[in-house]
Amino acid sequence: MLKLKSLTKSSTVGIIAPASPESKDFIDNKIDIFKKLGFKIKKSEHLYDSYGYLAGNDKSRAEDLNSMFADKEVDAIVCLRGGYGSIRMAPYLDLKIIRNNPKIFCGYSDITLLLNYINRTCKFPTFHGPMITSNFSDIMTKEFFLKVLQNNSSKIQYDLKELCADNYITFNNKNFSGSIVGGNLSIICSTIGTPYEIDFKNNILLIEDINESPYAVDRMLSQLISCGKLQQSCGVLLGYFTDCINKPTDFSIEEIIRQKLVPLNIPIINGIPIGHDYPNITIPIGAQFEFFSDTNLLIQKKVLFKS
Main-chain phi, psi angles of 43, to 5 degrees: -90, 140
CA dist 104 and 126 (Å) reads 6
Sheet with 235-242: strands ordered across:
157-159, 297-300, 288-292, 176-184, 204-210, 235-242, 268-270, 169-171
How are strands ordered across the β-sheet holding 40-43? Answer: 40-43, 12-16, 76-79, 104-107, 126-128, 283-285
Residues with a known catalytic role: 109, 208, 276
Look up residue 301 and give its amino acid. Answer: K
92, burial (CB in 10 Å: exposed 0-12, middle 13-18, buried 19+): middle
